[in-house]
Structure 1
Amino acid sequence: MRSGPVTVSLTDKWEPAPGSVMSWQPSPSSYAKALEAPVSDVPPSFMQVQHLRNYVRQAAKGLDFSRVLVFTLDMPGRCDKRAMGHVINAHLRRHDTYRSWFSLDHEQNIVRRTIADPADVQFAPVRLGEMTSAEVRDLVVSGTPNPFQWDCFRFGIVQSAGHFTFYFSVDHLHLDATFARLLIMEILMGYNALVQGGAPIDLPPAGSYGDYCIRQHDFLSSLTPDSLPVRDWVQFAENNRGSLPDFPLPMGDHSVPCGTAIVTEQLLDEQQALQFESTCLESGARFIGGVMAAIGFVERELTGADTYYGITPSDARDEADMFTTGWFTGLVPITVPVDGSFGVAARAAQESFDRGRQLVNVPFYRVLELAPQLNWPRPYHPMINFFDGGAPPLSQLFTNPLLVTNPIGLYAESKSVYQLTIFISRFPTETALTIAYPDNPIAHESITRYVALLKSVFARFAGQHEAVSARSVVRA
């Protein structure tokens, strides 16, 4: 969904302009240095371990796996390839996560290897010639190496007649979407400084993802079944049949392979969003509290349940990690009573979110190790992703003069067979809904019903009481 200069969507929806493509890839000497890198004592983060094991598990079944993030930036004129190459290599050398790669030993343990000297990282340009839009998308998404290869990230440009598109594709192993703002600012500001004849920009010191991995490993190793955050997760799971919450409508047989369908809708226009936010603030909640409460009322209308249980990702960075590239995202469990007024529910949802933020550093999969009575998440457990483009730091994407005139794209891959992902994105001019779900008839019918009800409930709480027809659903 595009709003102003920013598009937040899925890779299937990305429509790059055709043009002449150049990709920055590791030089032969750099790749050789990576293969020779010694084993590191730094453990992978818990998220990286789960990601790699899920990739292996899905590959063994012959199933797709969602792993690639794509960031794009449209810029006028012709690309100064020398300046762009300097900025790309400066970014790679600045952040230590790019110097690590992973493999499995003979006991199937995950082993990290790390390039010691940042100067050994060198990406060089490779001309790939003219490509169509579909060819560019396939190159960028499908052509990104798998997470067991060091270079599972690619930079490039697509040069068109009057502008060029910079792209960065990276396996989720090394990056979360929250870092998109800093990544884009580094690239754009660094490039503009050079092409205008200036010196390389002076950036704040980057933190170390390796240091975070050590801190996380020590913290998670210290947890026991009696630790308070573990007991809180266990209580939440026990309220949801021993696992994460289920979607309230049928999604079809998960054992039958199918593709991914995408629905995109406007949930609220600019005025409705302001009215919705006013209602939230009057109730003692912020926008996200109202979002979770509204979703809870949708589920109550579908299931009759008086309590809504939801999951939303949140950034786990602390002050030391603010300028660090890496995967820091964790999950926040939400519990909302929905048997009363919206105001009461919104306030309760906000309190639950704020309280649950203390659990963002405790992965549910770590809890499963400590509480074996719980169950692995069932297929199609919904993940509510809330993107607030009006709040710092993401608001800079809409207010920075350089970024306002250079359209930005943030895209996540959606290929997993069991995936059900809900994105609610608030932009300055609208609040948008995107849902990725299994492409089968049962799921289509359920999502059509769910979207229509979601729009109706949000409109009602924004002060717009007219029902929203299910016929307005647009299937991508």
Structure 2
Amino acid sequence: MVVMARLSDHPTQGGQVVDWTPSQATLDAMAVAPPTGVIPSMMQAAHLALAKSKTREGYTDSSWLCVAFELPGQFDVDAWTRTINFWLGRHGGMRNWFTADGDSEDTPIERHELAPEDVTFAPTFHPDEVTAEGMLDHVRRQMDVWAVPLGRFGYTFTAVVGDEKTIIYFGADHSYTDGVSVLLSLWELSTIYDCERAGTTPELPEVGSYPDYCIEERERADGFTAESKGVQDWLYFFMRGGDLPRFPVDLGMLPGVKVPLVPVYQELLNAELDDGYEKAVKELGGTYAGGLYAACAMAAHEMAAATSYRCLNPVHSRWSDEWVAAMGWFINLVPLHVDIEPDDTFGSLARRTRQEFRDTKAAGDVPTLRVAEILSEYMDFDADSSDRPPIMSYLDGTMIPGHEKWLEQNSWGLTGAGDDDDVYVWMMRMPGSTYVTASCPDTPQAVHAVTSYFARVAEILQEVARTGGDVPMGPAAILQPPVA
């Protein structure tokens, strides 16, 4: 499986360090590349505005995503260099970068692009070997310098070469990628490397260029109005519950008071329980993913006396075949509101959650920023603010090509540090384990709330898996803060 964690928790190794960054010829081409006139996608635009606002307000935000995986045996530096350059030439979105002359709200953001033949990354060899701890420090510095949203190509490649294996790190600013794209990069890069070493041509699906998607998205967005079904779904969501949702259990945090985030991890289902859970939830009339959210709703009732469960759920926007394997940020948000009745069970909530997802499917077609434009009086969204609503994400990694090799490759998904006042949650179904990882404010009450909440979610799901049947919901209660 792919383990999601902080970079500082990655079990790396010592050895010789090699970095790949743009060649001098590519840097020279970037220096004179004019703006393309293609505006960012709506997710990119929000992200870039957020990056500028974080800089203005002095908050920490490592907005990069990184994958690490192992290549066994003797490392072929030349083959890996060819792999990188083949891969960058394949994906138009990776040959783009953004610039802005300052951090002001009014400073325009411009996109630049190079042709495939003008993009080459070259290796830099570091003469002194590093320890494992030194390697993590080196990767963090590389990410902080290169995997940035503005000013240059926002990604980098690094390797630490040992006697028996090499660990590869590929990190990119979020403007280049999403969770699916990061996992696809594992498959594509390792496939291309194998072919480069064997002297064969990799068989990969054809892909479109992400800037073309950005143009399509804006054209599609213009067609949505307040009467569109997806926009009406959002309006109904606000009518049912008012504000944008926050974490369901009290964190003891004042909105807007941001503190450093720490990771929280909880396994929900192991390999032995996964099949039993999937069979049980389907027999109860739910879906695999819907049951996860149903368990979250149950825990919210039992630990926060919640009468509804509300969250924002990312969904992919890869609406045509050319985007299925493309690198880019193909994400929209769908609002989920599940009413909770005192006599509910896991089964009734799983069925209700499934129906809610069906009823709001059209919301996934509408770019979230377009919704914010139309429903500005409800969403109260300021693109130039450092505030962002928290998400509750689910990703099924077993649907991604190459997932069969993740365990063998010891694959990891890695993130950096940041500040916030709420919790961001990713539920991941991976080969061998379904787990949740969350970024949580680093205060005693917040960490207690998040760890207790997801421990209860795990208990519910595991009971469903073990019994193969329904599970009653406990009485409404309020989780008490930890004793000082």
Return the TM-score normalized by structure 2: 0.87
TM-superposed CA distance for 1:12, in Å, is 3.8
Evaluate the alpha carbon distance shift between residue 188 and residue 29 of structure 1 in structure 2; reply closer, same or farther with a 3 A threshold: same
Q: RMSD of the alignment, in Å?
A: 2.5
Residue number in structure 2 paired with 1:112: 111
Distance 1:307 1:425 in 2: 23
TM-superposed CA distance for 1:161, in Å, is 2.0
Secondary structure of the equivalent of 1:405? helix
Map 1:428-439; keep pairs closer than 5 Å.
428-439=431-442
Contact 1:264 1:434 in 2 (8 A): yes
**Gapped runs of 5+ residues in structure 2?**
474-484
Between 1:85-94 and 1:222-231, the stretch displaced more is: 222-231
Residue number in structure 2 paired with 1:234: 235
Residue number in structure 1 paired with 2:218: 217
Distance 2:391 2:86 in 1: 35
Distance 2:47 2:329 in 1: 11
Contact 2:316 2:330 in 1 (8 A): yes
Distance 2:315 2:367 in 1: 12
TM-superposed CA distance for 1:380, in Å, is 8.3
Quick check: 1:273 aligned with 2:274?
A: yes
Quick check: 1:126 aligned with 2:129?
A: no
Evaluate the alpha carbon distance shift between residue 145 and residue 8 of structure 1 in structure 2; reply closer, same or farther with a 3 A threshold: closer
Evaluate the alpha carbon distance shift between residue 358 and residue 13 of structure 1 in structure 2; reply closer, same or farther with a 3 A threshold: farther
Evaluate the alpha carbon distance shift between residue 262 and residue 368 of structure 1 in structure 2; reply closer, same or farther with a 3 A threshold: same
Contact 1:18 1:136 in 2 (8 A): no
In structure 2, which of residues 362, 374, 379 is the aligned counterpart of residue 370 of structure 1? 374
TM-superposed CA distance for 1:382, in Å, is 4.1
TM-superposed CA distance for 1:420, in Å, is 1.2
Residue number in structure 2 paired with 1:83: 79
Residue number in structure 1 paired with 2:364: 360
Residues 141-194 of structure 1 show CA distances to partners (whole Å, capped at 9, x for unaligned) of 323342112221101211012110111110111111202343222211111122
Residue number in structure 1 paired with 2:481: none
The AA in structure 2 aligned to 1:112 is R
Quick check: 1:200 aligned with 2:197?
A: no
Residue number in structure 2 paired with 1:449: 452
Distance 1:180 1:77 in 2: 24
Residue number in structure 2 paired with 1:74: 70
Quick check: 1:163 aligned with 2:169?
A: no
Quick check: 1:147 aligned with 2:146?
A: no
TM-superposed CA distance for 1:428, in Å, is 3.6
Distance 1:364 1:162 in 2: 47
Residues 66-91 of structure 1 show CA distances to partners (whole Å, capped at 9, x for unaligned) of 41010112011221111111110111
Residue number in structure 1 paired with 2:414: 411
Residue number in structure 1 paired with 2:347: 343
Between 1:104-113 and 1:64-73, the stretch displaced more is: 104-113
The AA in structure 1 aligned to 2:413 is L
Map 1:37-76; keep pairs closer than 5 Å.
37-76=33-72
Distance 1:411 1:289 in 2: 26
Distance 1:315 1:352 in 2: 18
**Aligned pair count?**
456
Distance 1:349 1:414 in 2: 33
Distance 2:124 2:148 in 1: 20
**Gapped runs of 5+ residues in structure 1?**
468-476
Percent pairwise identity: 25
Residues 309-351 of structure 1 show CA distances to partners (whole Å, capped at 9, x for unaligned) of 2222122112221121111022122222332232222122123
Distance 1:114 1:240 in 2: 43
Evaluate the alpha carbon distance shift between residue 273 and residue 186 of structure 1 in structure 2; reply closer, same or farther with a 3 A threshold: closer
TM-superposed CA distance for 1:264, in Å, is 1.7
Quick check: 1:189 aligned with 2:185?
A: no
Secondary structure of the equivalent of 1:168? strand
Distance 2:7 2:262 in 1: 12
Residue number in structure 2 paired with 1:474: none
Between 1:24-33 and 1:219-228, the stretch displaced more is: 219-228
Residue number in structure 2 paired with 1:327: 329
Map 1:393-412; keep pairs closer than 5 Å.
393=400, 396-398=402-404, 400=405, 403-412=406-415
Contact 2:100 2:151 in 1 (8 A): no
Contact 2:64 2:147 in 1 (8 A): no
Residue number in structure 2 paired with 1:383: 391
Secondary structure of the equivalent of 1:124? strand
Residues 47-103 of structure 1 show CA distances to partners (whole Å, capped at 9, x for unaligned) of 110000000001111101241010112011221111111110111111111222212
Distance 1:364 1:159 in 2: 43
Distance 1:229 1:238 in 2: 14
Contact 1:233 1:364 in 2 (8 A): no
Map 1:454-465; keep pairs closer than 5 Å.
454-463=457-466
TM-superposed CA distance for 1:225, in Å, is 2.4
TM-superposed CA distance for 1:290, in Å, is 0.4
Distance 2:205 2:266 in 1: 39
The AA in structure 2 aligned to 1:349 is T
Secondary structure of the equivalent of 1:143? helix
TM-superposed CA distance for 1:294, in Å, is 0.9
TM-superposed CA distance for 1:253, in Å, is 3.4
Quick check: 1:32 aligned with 2:28?
A: yes
TM-superposed CA distance for 1:256, in Å, is 4.5
The AA in structure 1 aligned to 2:55 is A
Between 1:149-158 and 1:265-274, the stretch displaced more is: 265-274
Distance 1:427 1:350 in 2: 21
Between 1:221-230 and 1:324-333, the stretch displaced more is: 221-230
Secondary structure of the equivalent of 1:210? helix
Contact 1:105 1:111 in 2 (8 A): no
